[in-house]
Amino acid sequence: MASIFAKKPLAVLLGEANSTGHGTLQRTLGAGNLVALGVGAIIGAGLFVRTAAAAAQASGPGVTLAFIVAAIGCVFAGLCYAEFAAMIPIAGSAYTYAYTTMGEFVAWVIGWALIMEYALGAATVSIAWSEYLNKLLQVFGTSLPYNLSHSPFESAVVNGVMEHGLINLPALFVIVMLSLLLIKGTQESAMFNAIVVVLKVAIVLVFIAVGWQFINPANHTPYLIPDNAAPVKNAAGVVVREYTAWNKHGWGGVLGGAAIVFFAFIGFDAVSTAAQEAKNPKRDMPIGILGSLAVCTVLYILFGHVLTGVANWREFADPALGGEASVTYAIKAHMPGYEWLGTAVTVAILLGFSSVILVMLMGQSRVFFSMAKDGLMPKAFSDLHPKFNTPYKSNLALLVFVGAFAAFVPGSVAGDLTSFGTLLAFVLVSIGVWLMRKSDPDQPRPFRSPLSSASFPLVPILGAAICTLMILALDSNTLKLALGWMLLGFVVYFLYGKKNSMLQKGVVVVPTEMEEEAFIKPDPNNR
């Protein structure tokens, strides 16, 4: 039996990427589709919820700088993703890249971490989708019954009566509908996502344009939270926020804010999971990954500048205002005559949630597809629909798993685990680019991340370092839960994955010397 750190030969991956016919994913996505997928996954609740939370908890008006720090970490990781995705255009994203650079066990670790990002993330976002649907219905004077829109583990006093949850039907509904859309076809899913992206970006632009007129320059002074900032108390005199910790004021607060708003950037890596469905991956994957990052970073900085200019960051320190209600509060309290924009923001959040769930479910199904082909997951996950040519069994399994989580588990359970899973993948992908430069220096690279030579891997080092810092800046409870999840993953690997691995069984077909040369021989016109 092979070592748990055995690597999948690069020539085998390239052979899979070049294969066609039934049993392979179809290349139907262009550069525009991929940028829209990235924007669809990135602009969701994070923008509307995390901006005020980061300002109130750590960064103040400097939340714009926090967005820049988080974006820089994402750009370095994005450059590494783009190099891999153009060179190895195959489904699986970070999992696949790790398999050929760091070996099977590290690939499993990333695959397991991506479940935190995609599957648990999709479930958590679907629960929030249910909450915002109720908020939108309340604008029109109605709402869903409490017991049909909440988990059995939740209860609350509604109109003076104690209500208990039974099932979260709206959350289950959106998971079912988007899963069926993904089974129907990648192109149809991309079209739906593109429409949603146009609508929600339009609402974000309207808020920025209208809100700019109401910016009070005094709210941006001082720009960073001072180290002697007074704690914030609620109406009862209880301290709800204090700023003595290193990551709660000054430049430390910018880094702490970056760890909070990083959640808002989650998603661009999902573009790389669709590499095997890109029409021209050598050109389109870098455009999709880096293009979606660029668009969203500009929107985030402008949004943060307007929000903290319209309302003072200390106003968001009240937990009731520093999260879901922050933008609506700022509009109602400081933008008279534009109350309708608060309803539009709720619509934008619902649209944002929808596209985020879609891309997360798509990304997870492609990771399962790749892991199943390698034997690390049940083979059924790699079966393609006879008509639609999509990994329908993987999508159906996610429908059941994610749908059950969404219907019966409170949304607070997953928390920031999605951020941890993403950051860990970013760290390992950044390291993987450097390792690949050392092990396969002559492999054709249609896109090369700059300053990433084997002897001077500046971009990979910066990507890994900044993302590691953001992992350390997460709260201790999140890190403990993440450790527990990863330990569970080790158990699953040794009880199932290692025993069924194609590589461990020696089933992976390594091309002959002639075939391998055909796969990896450098092209003098496209090095």
As a whole number, mean pLDDT of residues 301-317 equals 92
Q: What pLDDT sits at residue 388?
A: 83
Q: What pLDDT sits at residue 13?
A: 72
Q: What pLDDT sits at residue 17?
A: 59
Does 91 score more than 80 pLDDT? no
- Residue 180, Cβ neighbours under 10 Å: how many? 13
One-letter-per-residue 3-state SS of 438-452: HHCCCCCCCCCCCCE
Does 517 score more than 50 pLDDT? no
For 10-518, CATH gives: 1.20.1740.10
As a whole number, mean pLDDT of residues 189-212 equals 87
Q: What pLDDT sits at residue 321?
A: 58
Residue with tokens 């205002």: 321
Lowest mean pLDDT among 203-207, 268-272, 474-478: 268-272
Give the SS3 label for residue 237.
Answer: coil
Structure tokens at 204: 């974000």
Does 301 score more than 70 pLDDT? yes
As a whole number, mean pLDDT of residues 514-522 equals 36
Q: Is 180 left (phi over 0), alpha (psi -120 to 50) or beta?
A: alpha
As a whole number, mean pLDDT of residues 296-322 equals 86
Q: What pLDDT sits at residue 303?
A: 94
As a whole number, mean pLDDT of residues 160-176 equals 92
391-404 residue pLDDT tens: 899 999 999 999 99
Give the SS3 label for residue 239.
Answer: strand
419-437 residue pLDDT tens: 788 788 888 888 988 888 8
Question: Strand runs (DSSP E) across 332-434, as ranges?
Answer: none
Give the SS3 label for residue 240.
Answer: strand
Average pLDDT, the chain: 82
List Cβ neighbours of 522 (8 Å cut-off, separation of 6 or more): 442, 443, 444
441-445's contacts with Cβ under 8 Å and 24+ in sequence apart are 442/520, 442/522, 443/10, 443/87, 443/520, 443/522, 444/87, 444/520, 444/522, 444/523, 444/526, 444/527, 445/83, 445/86, 445/87, 445/527
Residue with tokens 């990771």: 367
As a whole number, mean pLDDT of residues 411-415 equals 60
Q: CA-CA distance, 194 to 169, in Å (whole number)?
A: 26
As a whole number, mean pLDDT of residues 448-458 equals 84
Q: What pLDDT sits at residue 16?
A: 65
Cα 134–chain centre separation: 25
β-strands 161-164, 232-233: how paired?
A: unpaired
Q: What pLDDT sits at residue 521?
A: 38
* Beta partners for residue 129, in sequence order: none
Lowest mean pLDDT among 26-30, 410-414, 507-511: 507-511
pLDDT band with cut points at 50, 70 and 90 for residue 339: confident
Give the SS3 label for residue 15.
Answer: helix
Does 448 score more than 70 pLDDT? yes
Q: What pLDDT sits at residue 523?
A: 38
Q: What pLDDT sits at residue 382?
A: 86
169-193 residue pLDDT tens: 999 999 999 999 999 877 788 788 7
pLDDT band with cut points at 50, 70 and 90 for residue 314: confident
pLDDT band with cut points at 50, 70 and 90 for residue 218: very high
Q: What pLDDT sits at residue 520?
A: 35
Does 53 score more than 70 pLDDT? yes
Q: What pLDDT sits at residue 454?
A: 79
Contact indicator for 379, 366 with CB cutoff of 8 Å: no
Give the SS3 label for residue 455.
Answer: coil
Q: CA-CA distance, 253 to 54, in Å (whole number)?
A: 9
230-248 residue pLDDT tens: 887 776 777 878 888 888 8
Q: What pLDDT sits at residue 24?
A: 58
95-151 residue pLDDT tens: 888 888 888 998 898 888 888 778 888 888 888 888 888 888 888 888 899 899 988
Using alpha carbons only, how large is the chain's radius of gyration in Å?
23
How many alpha carbons lie under 13 Å from residue 157 in its C-beta half-sphere? 1
359-383 residue pLDDT tens: 889 888 888 888 998 899 998 888 8
Contact indicator for 167, 451 with CB cutoff of 8 Å: no
CB contact burial 382-414 (16+ within 10 A = b; e otherwise): bebeeeebbbbbbbbbbbebbbebbbbbbbeeb
As a whole number, mean pLDDT of residues 252-275 equals 78
Measured CA to CA in angstroms, residue 56 lies from 71, 222, 272, 306, 313 at distances of 20, 14, 33, 15, 5
Is the Cα torsion angle 146, 150, 156, 162 positive or negative in sign?
A: positive
pLDDT band with cut points at 50, 70 and 90 for residue 21: low
- Residue 111, Cβ neighbours under 10 Å: how many? 27
CB contact burial 289-326 (16+ within 10 A = b; e otherwise): bbbbbbbbbebbbbbbbbbbbbbbbbbbbbeebbbbbb
